[in-house]
Amino acid sequence: MYDDNQTFVPDSFIELYQDARGRLTIGKPELAALYEFSEDMAQLLVDQCQLIHHRDGVDEDQILTRCFAGLVAEPTSLAPPQAQWIVRRSAELLQWHWESRPAIE
């Protein structure tokens, strides 16, 4: 992504932290740290989602929607756009389609 950092941050994540003119609203080191956290969370959700789907027979879409609700719940909630990115990334890794994805401003 940057000369001083080997972390590649995808455009879909960068867009979460850009203003209307396309300028970053946070610093590059913070962006890289948030991305690494979000990617780690997405990876962690994969195993949990698979377990719930196979053990309990819960629908894929419902599992992803519940994950989103958990990520934005108090007391340690994430911003809805970041939570949605994490769940979308988990769905991508699982090769699932998230039908009930909430609209985020």
Q: Is the peptide bond before 75 cis (omega within 30 degrees of 0)?
A: yes
Whole-model pTM: value is: 0.88
Which pLDDT tens digit goes with each residue over 5-56?
Answer: 577 999 999 999 999 999 999 999 999 999 999 999 999 999 999 999 999 9
Contacts of residue 29, defined as CB under 8 A and 6 or more positions apart, other chains included, come to 5
Q: How far apart are CA 42 and CA 40, in angstroms?
A: 5
Round to whole Å and give the CA distance between 90 and 43.
6
